[in-house]
């Protein structure tokens, strides 16, 4: 068979698996042809090489809204581009959160997937950014805005979108459905066909698609093709775990959802060999890991357990739970890696530590974040109880103290958190408000009454540049310390996302791990004092090879005696390497 025939055969098999319980008007091979045409894949195009890593130690992603920084008389996307060029040369990738017209949820209720929000700029601004850095874009695939033309056609009962949305009956058994919200699942909607109840996983302005209709799948493949043409080469599949619904089930992580992701990866990597699929699945850790598939599903998965575990570690002064979790995590095989982050536009999810942190630990964590000015969002559990779902707080405020209260070590603790994250196996993603040391935005929270707004500040560019020009300002100090760490990381082969990693056993007050480059020439011992007291690091326990010269990459000092004991100040990190 030709390469194109092999692709069609594979797609047909995937479609048969997805739609095995759905009666279709078209045959699977006809749908496969339509998908190939929509993606404009031709004979002699890209043939993906299995288990290929499309990343290196040089990849660091900044996460930002398109309008996180605003300048008078300039498109926010142009402002963002200039800011990155001026201050963030060490960062080669950017995730611009939904930059499309929207009606709510700060972009995640998309009205039109094919347009750039004119309040941000236009496609030329997106293409300018993509020409300089790897660009990551959201594919908001589970739902769209109730104000979209598609949903308005659903209400009218005609036109594109009239059959794109999932409905259920109020009499259906929906007791097991897993959701991250407490609002009613079904939205009563008067349509030309009478009253219908539309499935809404998140809010009644975010109406869920019905992927049992292959036209919905085809629509999203056209969208992907447009984004590829604009320079996007990292696709973040937002809330994808909820994509396929079956009444009477939990309607999360269903086999059809996994197969849709595999099919999209098949198409994307045949269209552009180095494009990457990342799944955003804010769910318990063991479920999250399944989205790797057999290196044939997501290239990367969000490491959702890391933020709450790392915050827990730094406020308690014990790495017990973080260490246990890290030792249980499987090394990512080639063709996959973790996407590590410790802060984002959303809050710190608690579902990913279910079964990892004990209930009492979660309570202490929630109480401490509340003490530091954070807000707690809840969800309705399977038994109908409200449970903490997400902690909404700026990371710099989350780390301003310990369970004992606020202390003078906030900046050191905050830097330590990033040093740990930057050293770990995987690709690091850093939220713009972490890079800038932005604190809780209570004014925005009051204006929107949405807890997540507390960590979605919008900077005035002139005010921000003034702060960054002052070396004694906390924002300037944060940016300098983090960009220094990033610059060191991106020049060390031992920090390749798929380089070897082993957890070190140095007690519960020192958290450490060892990284080795894939060519085995470089070793880096990453060790952090995660307490508010000075701690001794017995270098002899690291078994450093005596014939090598060892350096601390962070302070640049040579380690003259590898049998000595080194004093680590509160929240100090060392990266001990045999290559300077």
Tens digit of pLDDT for each residue in 297-323? 999 999 999 999 999 999 999 999 999
pLDDT tens column, 149-169: 999 999 999 999 999 999 999
| Rounded Cα distance, 281 and 357, in Å | 19
Closest CA to 255 of 211, 214, 295: 211
Longest C-alpha distance within the chain, in Å?
Answer: 80
136, β-bridge pairs: 95, 234
pLDDT tens column, 510-549: 999 999 999 999 999 999 999 999 999 999 999 999 999 9
User: Would you say residue 534 lies in a domain?
Assistant: yes
Considering the entire predicted model, what is its pTM? 0.96
| Rounded Cα distance, 163 and 191, in Å | 12
| Rounded Cα distance, 381 and 373, in Å | 25
Closest CA to 497 of 426, 436, 561, 416: 426
The confidence score (pLDDT) of residue 382 equals 65
| Rounded Cα distance, 190 and 37, in Å | 36
Closest CA to 127 of 275, 227, 236, 231: 231
| Rounded Cα distance, 500 and 497, in Å | 9
The answer to whether 313 and 358 have CB atoms below 8 angstroms apart is no
Q: What are the C-alpha distances in Å from 67 to residues 108, 434, 551?
A: 15, 16, 41
CATH number at residue 549: 2.60.40.1180
User: Would you say residue 522 lies in a domain?
Assistant: yes
Other beta carbons within 10 angstroms of residue 181's beta carbon come to 16
Catalytic residue among 238, 346, 397, 552: 238
User: Would you say residue 36 lies in a domain?
Assistant: no
User: Would you say residue 288 lies in a domain?
Assistant: no
| Rounded Cα distance, 121 and 82, in Å | 14
Active site residue 85: no
Phi, psi of 326 (to 5 degrees): -60, -40
Say yes or no to pLDDT of 98 above 70. Answer: yes
| Rounded Cα distance, 69 and 53, in Å | 33
The confidence score (pLDDT) of residue 379 equals 76
Phi, psi of 200 (to 5 degrees): -135, 95
User: Would you say residue 73 lies in a domain?
Assistant: no
| Rounded Cα distance, 484 and 497, in Å | 19
**DSSP reduced 3-state for 187:** strand
Radius of gyration of the chain (CA): 24
Arithmetic mean of pLDDT over the chain: 96
User: Would you say residue 345 lies in a domain?
Assistant: no
Where residue 385 falls among pLDDT bands split at 50, 70, 90?
confident
pLDDT tens column, 414-434: 999 999 999 999 999 999 999
Other beta carbons within 10 angstroms of residue 538's beta carbon come to 12
The answer to whether 111 and 99 have CB atoms below 8 angstroms apart is no
Q: What is the count of structural domains for the chain?
A: 1
Find the domain containing 544 and state its range: 500-577
**DSSP reduced 3-state for 121:** coil
| Rounded Cα distance, 483 and 248, in Å | 50
The answer to whether 94 and 85 have CB atoms below 8 angstroms apart is no
pLDDT tens column, 332-370: 999 999 999 999 999 999 999 999 999 999 999 999 999
The answer to whether 149 and 112 have CB atoms below 8 angstroms apart is yes
Closest CA to 180 of 284, 92, 52: 284
- Cα-to-chain-centroid distance, residue 439: 21
The answer to whether 207 and 146 have CB atoms below 8 angstroms apart is yes
Say yes or no to pLDDT of 62 above 80. Answer: yes
Say yes or no to pLDDT of 455 above 80. Answer: yes
| Rounded Cα distance, 544 and 325, in Å | 26
Say yes or no to pLDDT of 43 above 90. Answer: no
The confidence score (pLDDT) of residue 378 equals 85
CB burial of 544-562 (b: ≥16 within 10 Å; e: otherwise) equals: beeeeebbbbbeeeebeeb
Angle at which helix 461-468 crosses helix 474-489, to 10 degrees, equals 80
Closest CA to 284 of 264, 268, 260, 308: 308
User: Would you say residue 368 lies in a domain?
Assistant: no
The answer to whether 575 and 554 have CB atoms below 8 angstroms apart is yes
| Token pair in block for residue 111 | 């009205």
Closest CA to 140 of 104, 94, 182: 104
Closest CA to 240 of 220, 261, 216: 261
| Token pair in block for residue 574 | 């060392």
| Rounded Cα distance, 183 and 191, in Å | 22
Where residue 46 falls among pLDDT bands split at 50, 70, 90?
confident
User: Would you say residue 466 lies in a domain?
Assistant: no
Say yes or no to pLDDT of 47 above 90. Answer: no
């Amino acid at each position: 068979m030709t390469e194109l025939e092999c692709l069609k055969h594979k797609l047909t098999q995937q479609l048969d698996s997805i739609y095995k319980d759905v009666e279709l008007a078209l045959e699977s091979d006809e749908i496969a042809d339509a998908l190939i045409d929509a993606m404009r894949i031709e004979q002699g195009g890209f043939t993906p090489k299995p288990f290929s890593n499309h990343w290196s130690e040089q990849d660091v992603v900044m996460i930002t809204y398109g309008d996180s920084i605003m300048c008078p008389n300039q498109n926010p996307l142009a402002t963002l581009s200039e800011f990155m060029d001026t201050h963030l040369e060490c960062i080669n990738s950017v995730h611009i959160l939904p930059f499309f017209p929207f009606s709510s949820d700060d972009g995640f209720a998309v009205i039109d997937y094919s347009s750039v929000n004119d309040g941000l700029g236009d496609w030329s601004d997106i293409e300018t950014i993509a020409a300089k850095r790897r660009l990551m874009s959201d594919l908001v695939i589970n739902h769209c805005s109730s104000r979209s033309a598609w949903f308005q056609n659903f209400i009218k009962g005609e036109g594109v979108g009239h059959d794109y949305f999932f409905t259920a009956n109020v009499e259906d058994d929906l007791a097991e459905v897993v959701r991250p919200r407490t609002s009613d699942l079904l939205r009563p909607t008067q349509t030309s066909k009478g009253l219908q109840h539309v499935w809404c996983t998140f809010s009644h302005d975010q109406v869920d698609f019905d992927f049992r209709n292959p036209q919905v799948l085809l629509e999203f493949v056209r969208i992907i093709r447009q984004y590829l043409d604009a320079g996007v080469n990292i696709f973040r599949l937002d809330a994808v775990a909820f994509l396929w619904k079956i009444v009477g089930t939990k309607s999360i992580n269903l086999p059809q959802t996994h197969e849709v992701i595999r099919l999209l990866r098949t198409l994307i990597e045949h269209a552009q060999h180095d494009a990457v699929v990342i799944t955003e699945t804010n769910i318990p850790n063991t479920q999250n890991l399944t989205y790797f598939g057999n290196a044939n599903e997501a290239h990367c998965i969000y490491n959702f357990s890391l933020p709450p575990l790392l915050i827990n570690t730094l406020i308690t002064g014990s790495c017990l739970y973080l260490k246990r979790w890290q030792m249980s995590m499987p090394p990512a095989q080639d063709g996959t890696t973790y996407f590590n982050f410790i802060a984002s536009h959303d809050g710190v999810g608690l579902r990913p530590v279910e079964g990892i942190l004990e209930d009492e630990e979660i309570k202490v964590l929630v109480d401490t974040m509340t003490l530091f000015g954070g807000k707690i969002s809840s969800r309705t559990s399977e038994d109908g109880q409200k449970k903490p779902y997400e902690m909404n707080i700026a990371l710099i405020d989350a780390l301003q103290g310990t369970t004992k209260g606020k202390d003078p070590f906030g900046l050191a603790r905050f830097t330590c958190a990033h040093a740990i994250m930057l050293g770990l196996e995987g690709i690091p993603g850093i939220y713009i408000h972490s890079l800038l040391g932005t604190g809780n935005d209570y004014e925005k929270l009051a204006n929107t009454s949405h807890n997540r707004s507390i960590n979605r500040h919008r900077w005035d560019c002139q005010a921000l540049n003034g702060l960054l020009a002052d070396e004694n300002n906390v924002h300037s100090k944060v940016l300098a310390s983090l960009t220094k760490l990033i610059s060191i990381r991106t020049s060390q082969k031992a920090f390749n996302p798929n380089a070897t990693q082993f957890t070190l056993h140095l007690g519960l007050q020192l958290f450490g791990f060892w990284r080795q480059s894939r060519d085995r020439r470089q070793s880096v011992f990453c060790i952090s004092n995660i307490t508010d007291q000075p701690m001794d690091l017995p270098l002899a326990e690291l078994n450093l090879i005596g014939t090598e010269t060892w350096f601390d990459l962070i302070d640049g000092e040579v380690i003259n005696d590898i049998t000595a004991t080194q004093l680590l100040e509160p929240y100090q990190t060392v990266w001990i390497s045999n290559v300077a």
